[in-house]
Amino acid sequence: MHSPDVRHVAVVTDPIDVVALLAAVAAPSSGATSLFLGTVREVNDGRAVTGIDYEAYQPMAESELRAIARETCADTAGLLVAVEHRVGTLLVGDVSVAIAVSHAHRAPALDGARRIIESLKQRVPIWKQEHYVDGDRAWVDPTTSGTARTA
């Protein structure tokens, strides 16, 4: 399925280059760009977090991300999309996911970025294990609104 509007999709281990992602959706026809960044924060569910290990089922994560991007572009003509998700050990403040969407007009660009992050959280096989200040670790399980402690 050819889709030139999906400019870039990748699951990466290196830090995400946000400027490169914005450049990937830049076009003379674009009047608005929406960039969403997910970052590791220092507290989750009231516990102090020092970092997160992200793990992916790499080939399926990339194909699901690409499918989400294609479906979003198919529903809104003129969208350009670039997405990266990072895996590995991230520290507080690190960018875990970046979604760049451009369009001639602002509403489709803003709606597109929102749709992609919501879909990503529903169906892309990526997991995160939080590291806590006390040395404990737990896999985050959104289906139970919390975490499953390990070890």
Partner 1 sequence: MIPVLLFASYADAFGARRLDAPVGAPCRVDTLVDALRALPGGTRLPAQPLVAVNRTWAAPDAIISVGDEVALIPPVAGG
Q: Which amino acid is at 92?
A: V
> Interface mask (CB under 8 A) for partner 1, residues 48-77, using x and -?
------xxxx-xxx-x--------------
In angstroms, the CA 20 to CA 14 distance is: 13
> Of a second copy, partner 1, none, which one does residue 110 interact with (CB within 5 to 8 Å by kind)?
a second copy
Nearer to a second copy, 32 or 60 (CB): 32
Minimum separation from the CB atom of position 33 to a second copy (A): 4
Among 79, 113, 126, 138, binds a second copy (CB under 8 A): 113
Burial class (CB in 10 A: 0-12, 13-18, 19+), 120: buried
In angstroms, the CA 131 to CA 51 distance is: 5
